[in-house]
Amino acid sequence: MKKYYSLSELLVDYRKHRQLTQIDFAAMLDVDVRTVIRWEKNESLIKADKERILIENMGIPHQVVRNLNTEQPIPVYFDFKRWLYSLTLLSSVVKSAKEFKTDEELHTTRIVSLTDDKDFDFITYIQQNQKNCNPLSRDVIKTATRLLPGLNFVIRDQSGYHGGHVSILPLKYEVYEKIRDQKMLENQLTTNDLARHNDEDTPVFYFYSIYSNSLDNTYYLINKMLFYFKKREELKNYILAGVTFQNLKVDHFRQMGFQVIWEKNVDGHPDHHATFLSGNFNRFFSNEIEFF
């Protein structure tokens, strides 16, 4: 994570991350390029109406922009690769999956069902940012949300902006086998591949996108997902599987008892890996796993 002391520095890094020129960036925000130049030189603050446009178009967490767009900026850490922010470096990451183990179900009114088109757009944006070059169609995610509302939700920050989400698909077992055996790619999934779990002997939950922009939101999202399975006592013989592009998620899932089925390079870059994981939370819940 990089520590930012000014909004100007963050904007420059954002442009580099997205490979945008100042002209491109100005067009994206519908402002004059001279305005962008002033912002990046830290010559002026961004007015409230433009700040909102900035947040909505860039997808940068609201708290990050709010902290930096002030006469006396509050430093904030931000990671463009993981699209994650933190107010302190020590709280920027969950060190071990055991930190998610709790007997208490957390509740917040900030978690709601996935329904807004902007949320579906952001899921695609996050996937692309995390090296998924061929994200799923919106129809597949929307249909999964209707079939499995308990595992498709978004958390908003105090200002109502997208702070993270969980997007999990109910998948037919034979389709899961094809992806597991690398006979089918994730981006080939269609709405016909989705299942109604009461018709399946071995229900498959396919985690497509699990993301949060801060540690607090991570706890709420993972807690809600874990308690979905913990409360469904009839779900003993189920599979939770999916592809992730982040090593940290691989580590956490492995600590929870999941297996790495395969791993492969993405787009020819040696540091870009897609990892397919499969398992369930039974051992994690029953304390069969030891943490070190």
Q: Average pLDDT per run of 10 along the chain, which is 292 residues long?
A: 93 93 94 94 89 86 90 90 76 78 92 94 86 84 96 91 95 96 94 84 93 90 96 88 91 95 78 88 83 46
Which pairing describes strands 111-113 and 84-86: parallel, antiparallel, or unpaired?
unpaired
What's the CA gap between 50 and 46, in Å, rounded?
A: 6
Residue 60 is predicted with a pLDDT of 87
Model-level pTM?
0.80
Residue 89 is predicted with a pLDDT of 65
Contact between residue 219 and residue 106 where contact means Cβ atoms under 8 Å apart:
yes
CA distances from residue 249 to 205, 218, 243, 253, 256 in whole angstroms, order as listed: 17, 12, 10, 6, 11
Contact between residue 186 and residue 179 where contact means Cβ atoms under 8 Å apart:
yes
Domains and CATH numbers, the chain: 2-91 (1.10.260.40), 97-285 (3.40.630.30)
From the list 34, 35, 46, 59, the residue with the least C-alpha distance to 6 is: 46
What's the CA gap between 259 and 239, in Å, rounded?
A: 11
Residue 291 is predicted with a pLDDT of 47
In the 8-state DSSP scheme, what is residue 4? E
For residue 5, give every residue at least 6 positions away whose Cβ sits within 8 Å of its Cβ, in sequence order, or none. 68, 73, 75
Residue 146 is predicted with a pLDDT of 96
